[in-house]
Every structure is written in C-alpha cells, then in structure tokens.
Amino acid sequence: MIKYEYILSLVVGILGQAASLSQMIKYNNQTQFKTPFFTINKDKYKVPFENNNTTLKFYQKVLFYDNFLAISYLITYLSLYFLLIENKLIKVLYQIIIPSQSILDWIENYILSSQIDSFLKDKTIKNQNIFFVISFVKWLCSICTFLLYLLAILRIIGIY
C-alpha cells in the first residue's frame, strides 16, 4: 500500500532539487570557477582560484545552494526507499550510501567555501588533501546513489 506522506516527501524533494538547481545555475553563470576535483598538484589546484579571484563569492553562493540540494535529494531518495524498495541488500545500501553522500557533500562544500575565504583573505588554500579525499569518496557515493536511483525507476516502470 502506498503511503501518501512518502509521495508528498518525494514531491517536496523534487521541488527542492529544482529550486536549488535554479539558484545554483544563476550564481554559477556569474563565475567561470570550476572546482579542482581530483587535483593533487598544489600549483594546478590554485589556478581556478587565481583565474576567478573577482567572482569567487558567486561560487560560494553555488555552494550554499548545493547544501539545500543535498538535503532535497536525500529526501527524494529516502522517499523512493520507503515507497519502492523491498530487497534487503538494496535497503541497506540506501541506508548507508545516500546519507553518506549528503554528509560528504556538506563537508566538501564547507571545505571549498573555507578555501575560497582563505584565498580571498591571504591567497592561501588549506586542506587540499582532505578536500581531495572527501570529494573522491563523495563522488563514489554519487555513482552508487545514481545506480540506486535507477533501480527505483526500474521498479516504478515494473522492470525490477
């Protein structure tokens, strides 16, 4: 039996994602900054900060709204979990991977925002190695989350 509170939370999650993404796009269009994911070389890591020095504050707004995106996709995916998932292994994966991705996304955003602050203040970038590890693990979780999301879609259309 379908529980309507999960359908409502699914709708809220999807609307939250749309609202967050629209704000992220708005501020991202005001800067050319691209996050230096998976860059260990300190000189290469610093280049996007140096090249976008005047528009880094706009990217901090992108990070701010990305935190709301993490909350809204957590709501969306957990709604799908309660609505559709019956397999015990997939339930465990949902319980571990999706909250982990949200938490790691928040940590990643916090580190990058603090890096922007320190760069704007004194041209230094701290915690590059921590950012690298957090980003790497978060993106692994993101891939798994996407696969779990596809399983939910397959369940909706009756294939799984």
Q: Which of 90, 115, 84, 118 is nearest to 10 (CA)?
A: 84
Residues 52-110 pLDDT 10s: 999 999 999 999 999 999 999 889 888 887 777 777 888 888 889 989 999 999 999 99
* Domain containing residue 36: 4-157
Structurally, the chain folds into a number of domains equal to 1
**Contact, 135 vs 37, CB < 8 A?**
yes
Q: Distance between CA atoms of 62 and 140, rounded to whole angstroms?
A: 21
| pTM for this model (two decimals) | 0.88
Residues 15-64 pLDDT 10s: 999 999 999 999 999 999 999 888 889 899 999 999 999 999 999 999 99
